[in-house]
Amino acid sequence: MAKQAEPETDPQTAALAFAGLTIEGMLRGRYDDQDGRDIFAKVHGFKLPEQARAVRLYPFFQPLDRNDGPVAKIYGREVIMLGSNNYLGLTRHPRVVQAAQDALSEHGTSLTGSRLLNGTTHLHEKLENRIAEFLGTEAAVVFTTGYQTNLGVISSLVDSRSVAIVDKADHASIYDACRLAEGEMLRFRHNDAQHLDTILRRLDKKKTCLVVIDGVFSMGGDIADLPAIVEVCQRHQVRLLIDDAHAIGAIGTGGRGTASHFGMDGKVDLTVGTFSKSFASVGGFVAGSRSVLEWIKHFGRSMVFSASLPPASAAAALASLEVLIEEPELVEAVQRHGETLRSGLNEMGFDTGESQTSIIPVTIGDELATVTFWRDLIECGVYTNPVIFPAVAIGKALLRTSCMATHKDEQIEFVLEQFQTLGRKHGLLP
Ligand SMILES: Cc1ncc(COP(=O)(O)O)c(C=O)c1O
């Protein structure tokens, strides 16, 4: 980590700075007791990132020198990339790169307008048709990001006489979508279909309702209990949206996601996905019935009031989908690496929670210990993502790891060796 500042503070001050960064610093109320009308007043006291940087413990916004898929370069050092969402490892696939380059030459850098007006090309429509075919739905609609997909879909459906009922562990974009929506939001306990049932039984019968779940949970790597949730939704005659951002390309037949994983194709009303993970691009989509998508296309604010997905990104996503269809063995490869990594970490004694996929959280607990472990792993050639409060509860900090289809067996073995050596050094393992 040559480019980070050398430590200027003793370890105790470092610990205090770090605790401040993660706990008090994020509880913004600390700065809210100032008088006056200057909205910037709160920012002047926000010195915690600077303090953490000074003790080489600031884990965010670290620039990569290169990112080639399974291997990246940071601070001039090669690292095994174990902290991306590039599950199929397609960001450097020759066909994907070529497709993006061709689209760039043909269409230029941007369409500079929303899908509704001047921002749709035949490429966008082709991508939508291929996604619908892949998932076996009537239609699909492409948005500019996965985040915007949830915003547009949920806020256009959940009106003032509706309720969105979401899993507590759903992605932030789903929560933000519910804030934008006019209707109410209720939450059920993570992956607990019985609790969902209880909420639905109590719900005013005049309210329309959308249940929203993640298929694969982005931090825990666990899979939604879809059979139980579908049963409850059908019994209460409410619609179900599944956000399969981390499931498509990773689970199900040929990477078709959570419904396919459970043999329940066609049992979900709407499927949201993103191109920023298995599809090696950016962008998002929703797949479902034509009439519902027609509504979303015209009333989804993030569709109507934001510029469309650049053609090069659409082309990269389309080429990635074609590669996935032709090479379903990529899905087996990412699952196999996930299994090797998870069982290896578990055998050593690390806590990988409820993970069932190639997303594997390693819970360390203490925030400072987690970031120190993250830093030492990079120095040993392994890149992971530290996840601290407020993304997880205080004292439940973890390193999020994830595999790629294009990792080599030796790279996963190397990673496991580093976890073992450092785990012992940090007193996390016997
Ligand atoms: C479950 C889930 N949904 C939606 C998104 C947003 O996707 P994007 O990064 O494409 O905006 C993410 C991003 O991490 C996610 O994990």
284 lines ligand 1 (CB under 6 A): yes
Per-residue pLDDT, 29:
46
pLDDT value at residue 325: 98
Domain ranges of the chain: 1-56, 59-87+329-425, 94-326
Expressed in angstroms and rounded, the spacing between residue 106 Cα and the centre of ligand 1 is 29
Rounded distance between C-alpha atoms, residue 380 and residue 374, angstroms = 10
> What is the per-residue pLDDT for 20?
56
Q: What is the pLDDT of residue 310?
A: 98
Distances (CA, A) of 363 to 181, 351, 366: 34, 6, 9
Backbone torsions φ then ψ of 220, nearest 5 degrees: -85, -25
Residue 155 or 57, more confident: 155
Instruction: State the distance from the centre of ligand 1 to the C-alpha of 180, rounded, in angstroms.
Output: 17
Distance 245 CA to ligand 1 centre (A): 6
Closest Cα to residue 300, out of 175, 155, 415, 197?
A: 155
Give the residue whose CA is nearest to atom 7 of ligand 1: 146
pLDDT, averaged across the chain: 93
The pLDDT of residue 63 is 95
- How far apart are the CA of 169 and the centre of ligand 1, in A? 13
Can you name the CATH fold of 59-87+329-425?
Answer: Aspartate Aminotransferase, domain 1 (3.90.1150)
The Cα 268–Cα 151 span in angstroms is: 19
Query: How many angstroms separate the alpha carbon of residue 15 from the centre of ligand 1?
Result: 32
Would you state the pLDDT for residue 1? 43
User: Sorting pLDDT into bands at 50, 70 and 90, what band is 15?
Assistant: low
Q: Is the CB of 146 under 6 A from ligand 1?
A: yes
pLDDT of residue 80 exceeding 60, the answer is: yes
* Ligand 1 atom nearest to CA at 274: 10
Can you tell me the distance from the alpha carbon of 335 to that of 340, in angstroms, rounded to the nearest whole number? 9
Output the CA 149–ligand 1 centroid distance in Å: 9
User: What b/e readout covers 70-81, taking b as 16+ CB neighbours within 10 angstroms?
Assistant: bbbebeeeebbb
Whole-angstrom distance, CA of residue 235 vs CA of residue 186: 19
The candidate with the shortest Cα–Cα distance to 80, out of 419, 405, 387, 378, is 378
Predicted confidence at residue 57, as pLDDT, reads 85
pLDDT in tens, 337-368: 999 999 999 999 999 999 999 999 999 999 88
Kindly report the pTM of this predicted structure: 0.94
Query: Which pair of structure tokens corresponds to residue 154?
Result: 């949920």
Query: In testing the pocket of ligand 1, which one of 145, 272, 274, 285 has its CB within 8 Å of the most ligand atoms?
Result: 274
Q: Is the pLDDT of residue 267 over 50?
A: yes
Q: Is the pLDDT of residue 124 over 50?
A: yes
Inter-residue contact 301 to 150 (CB < 8 Å): no
Q: Is the shortest distance between the CB of 170 and ligand 1 below 6 Å?
A: no
Residue 211, H or E segment: strand 208-214
Beta bridge mates, 187: 166
Query: For strand 208-214 and strand 162-167, is the pairing parallel, antiparallel, or unpaired?
Result: parallel
Q: What does the pLDDT look like over 303-325, one tens digit per residue?
A: 999 999 999 999 999 999 999 99
Is the model's pLDDT at 33 over the cut of 70?
Answer: no
CATH class held by domain 94-326: alpha beta
pLDDT band per the 50, 70, 90 thresholds, residue 47: confident
| 46 pLDDT above the threshold of 70 | yes
DSSP for residue 63: P
Query: Same topology for domains 59-87+329-425 and 94-326, yes or no?
Result: no
- In the predicted structure, residue 232 carries a pLDDT above the cut 90: yes
Packing angle of the helix pair 172-180, 146-157 (nearest 10 deg): 40
Whether residue 9 has pLDDT greater than 60: no
What the block records as the tokens of 63 is 């620039």
**Closest protein CA for atom 16 of ligand 1:** 218
Instruction: Give residue-wise pLDDT tens across range 157-185.
Output: 999 999 999 999 999 999 999 999 999 99
Tell how strand 397-402 and strand 385-387 pair up: antiparallel
Give yes or no for residue 397 having a pLDDT over 60.
yes
CA–CA distance, 79 with 381 (Å, rounded to integer) = 4
| Whether pLDDT at 402 is above 50 | yes
* Residue 236 in this model has a pLDDT that exceeds 50: yes
Query: 191 CA to middle of ligand 1, Å?
Result: 19
Instruction: Give the other-Cβ count within 10 Å of 350's Cβ.
Output: 21
**370 closest CA partner among 397, 349, 393, 348:** 397
pLDDT value, residue 13: 54
Q: pLDDT at position 31, please?
A: 52
Percentage of residues of the chain with pLDDT beyond 70:
92
Instruction: Say yes or no to pLDDT of 147 above 90.
Output: yes
pLDDT at 175: 97
